[in-house]
Structure 1
């Protein structure tokens, strides 16, 4: 069967149901714009790696065909439709919006498209959907357009906005993971944090903690974030058994003290949202420090049990010992 039929050579096109209509009519503009949006979504789909977002986009593309079919139908064609957009579809979009808003948090400034190629195409699709919505609202003034379609189009642009934000977030997380994996692939560093050194640091941490009067958990990890030693003082908080090693892991994974992360995770900053990455192992308050020899990270420490200030004070005592002893590491 030939792609071309020559039936549209006079500027008309056929509707589902058999009647013909001018190609520059408002009705054709409505479903034609949906086709345009679907194409933009296809580009985004081909670029996105996150399976959850890809699945949502594919479902949306199928729903746009459903909306388009209804808008491209005459009275007879409408009666032949087997599937129509319903209130349930509107609710599904609202659930998507709520899910990602909860995950990503509120925004406090306008978002300029362009952070990733895929998110840019999602923003493009969102803008096209907005245009389609305006056309459909205009069509509803002279033709019978169901309320569910108008509602669906309104929610869809918001859903695409949230998906664009999610795409940027997941791309950032994957970038961080790749850096961590690359560090692990590099193998052992030229210096190693030994168990002997970790034990010395644990003794200093316990002595300083006893001096302050707070029982703590002290953790030392190697350059790959693996635990070398975990030491728990009697009476230390159970929560510290998670926080201490996670602080040490964070310091190694991000190559910085954990208290330095706080300003970087605020909305709009470069590491916003990282605290929920890496299986929620990232800690963004004080008590975790990387251990360095000549700018080479050989491990990290984490202290948890007191206030943030107390944890940092104890950790500083450990770092002092490390500075004195690091010449003996090999």
Structure 2
């Protein structure tokens, strides 16, 4: 069968009912716009390496073909069982949205598409689906359209928005994790002449403890080497149990990001370049004050982390230890 049929040369096309309509009819506009959205989703699918996202997109694309078959059926159909898209399809989209929302870090600002190529394609598909929905609103004023079809497209636009944000989020986490791993691979635990690291860690902990006693707050103090490995840690009497892991993770964060944790807190705010980084590296990244990197002659040799009081108290005790390095 030839690709070109010449049956549309006069500006008309056939619906599934074999009825001939003009190609610029509202119904043809509607299913043509859905076809356009399907193509944009295909582009997104080809641009992502996330298998879970590919599975979601591919399943929806198959349903859009069935949805277009419903749109290409004229309004004379009265038996709803003959329609292909049903309320169960709408419910499935809602279920996917709910699951994605559990993973997504909510944004508190307007989204500018283009953070990644895949999310940009998903945002493009979302806007096309919105246009298809508007076509259907117009079509329903004069002709019959299955209710689940209209609901499906409405939920689909919401799903594509959330999916785009989750794809962006995973890309950011992967990028940060790779950067952290490069740092860890570059700097070995004994780099920078740190053979006496344990003795220096003990001096830092003693100085930090003295400051903690002075302000009357029991603290946990941890010191790590350039690879983020624990060198020494002390938990003062009555210090919070939770502070044991927090102090260690603060020291690790300072080494992993080559910055103090209060600096990390600034760039991890919504809209900033490292927003969401606290979910990376198995959630070891801490984005509030109390952790500082240790530098020696321009080389990163370790980190100190303190936990147990307020952010200001943790930072003051950590800086006392830092001064003894």
TM-score (norm 1): 0.87
Q: Write the deviation string for residues 126-177 of structure 1: whole angstroms up to 9, x where unpaired.
A: 1111111111111111221122221221222222222222232222222111
Which residue, out of 285, 292, 297, partners 1:294?
Answer: 297
SS in 2 for 1:291: strand
Which residue, out of 303, 308, 311, partners 1:308?
Answer: 311
Indicate the residue corresponding to 2:235 in structure 1. 232
SS in 2 for 1:285: coil
- Check if 1:284 corresponds to 2:254: no
Deviation, structure 1 residue 220: 1.6
Distance of 1:5 and 1:242 partners within structure 2: 70
Indicate the residue corresponding to 1:20 in structure 2. 20
Distance of 1:83 and 1:139 partners within structure 2: 17
Indicate the residue corresponding to 2:86 in structure 1. 86
Q: Write the deviation string for residues 103-146 of structure 1: whole angstroms up to 9, x where unpaired.
A: 322423x3222222222211211111111111111111122112
CA distance 1:191–1:124, shift in 2 (3 Å): farther
- Check if 1:200 corresponds to 2:200: no
Distance of 2:112 and 2:304 partners within structure 1: 39
Q: CA RMSD in A?
A: 2.6
Pairs aligned (count): 321
Indicate the residue corresponding to 1:318 in structure 2. 321
Deviation, structure 1 residue 187: 4.6
Distance of 1:243 and 1:197 partners within structure 2: 21
Unaligned runs of 5+ in 1: 323-330
Distance of 1:90 and 1:191 partners within structure 2: 63
Indicate the residue corresponding to 1:41 in structure 2. 41
CA distance 1:139–1:215, shift in 2 (3 Å): same
Unaligned runs of 5+ in 2: none
Distance of 2:23 and 2:121 partners within structure 1: 27
Q: Write the deviation string for residues 259-284 of structure 1: whole angstroms up to 9, x where unpaired.
A: 12333222222222222222221211
Whether the 8 Å CA contact 1:70–1:78 is kept in 2: the answer is no
TM-score (norm 2): 0.88
SS in 1 for 2:306: strand
Indicate the residue corresponding to 1:326 in structure 2. none
Question: What pairs up with 1:152-231 in 2 under 5 angstroms?
Answer: 152-188=152-188, 189-192=191-194, 194-231=197-234
